[in-house]
Structure 1
């Protein structure tokens, strides 16, 4: 749907994408948030993507478009006006995939978006602020599974 300047296409996720999307999530989370303790095992994350995220959320993947070997290198999940997940494979960061996902999220939710990110994830803060999101709430983490202080960002057109 959304070919860009690189070898990556954004498209809606389908059931066969769930395992690869979960693996991107797992690798990206581990690389970006090494100090955050995950309350779910890798298998539980994969099950969640298979049973909930892909079938019941507006899930998108970034897929390399090379001949033969296609690979999922990013995942974005929308739940109404909540940008609930945006993860890029660590070796594909800085290539504009996240920018394209945010543009797509704004297209899909033109009235506005919000998201949560952990306070320790300063690169994410810079990324979202660059895309016009504003921090509107800081918490001590009691409201998330990880029990990690977080921040809610909002974007309004």
Structure 2
């Protein structure tokens, strides 16, 4: 982890970022408690990145120099934070907080999200950021337990 958040820049995601977005998403989803029991394949997530952008994702990336270190993606029409992932080696560096600030700016009237209850790091992050647990449910793709948060 690098703690120099002053060198972190946020910018809109471009098509050229999509491979790296998929890599970060995959690396994060493979961490214990974060993704489904059977971790998604990188190629599957890469295809999904294109599909999500085609369906209206608005995404921001966090960079240091030319390196993409994290991303956040929202579905503005639904007021949903769809994804927020930071490269595992950068967890705890403040990148997630910066990206979350961008989400709040893009969705100032509030938003919802869900995560797995086993993703304790994310649950603590969202609760410290002032989100409230709204309810529990089942993941729409995988059927495992999730917890919904909202502002």
Aligned residues: 145
Aligned counterparts of 1:5 and 1:120: Cα–Cα separation in 2: 28
CA drift at 1:146: 2.0
- Structure 2 gaps of 5+ residues are none
- Structure 1 gaps of 5+ residues are none
Contact persistence 2:35–2:116 (CA under 8 A):
no
TM-score scaled by length of structure 2: 0.88
Aligned alpha-carbon RMSD (Å): 1.9
Runs of 4 or more above 6 Å deviation: none
Aligned counterparts of 1:123 and 1:61: Cα–Cα separation in 2: 20
1:89 partnered with 2:111: no
Instruction: Quote the residue 1:75 is aligned against.
Output: 71
1:28 partnered with 2:24: no
| Deviation digits for residues 11-66 of structure 1 (CA, Å, limit 9, x no counterpart) | 110111000110011011112536732474321111111x223453101111112x
- Secondary structure in 2 matching 1:11: strand
Aligned counterparts of 1:21 and 1:34: Cα–Cα separation in 2: 16
- Secondary structure in 2 matching 1:31: coil
Instruction: Quote the residue 1:62 is aligned against.
Output: 62
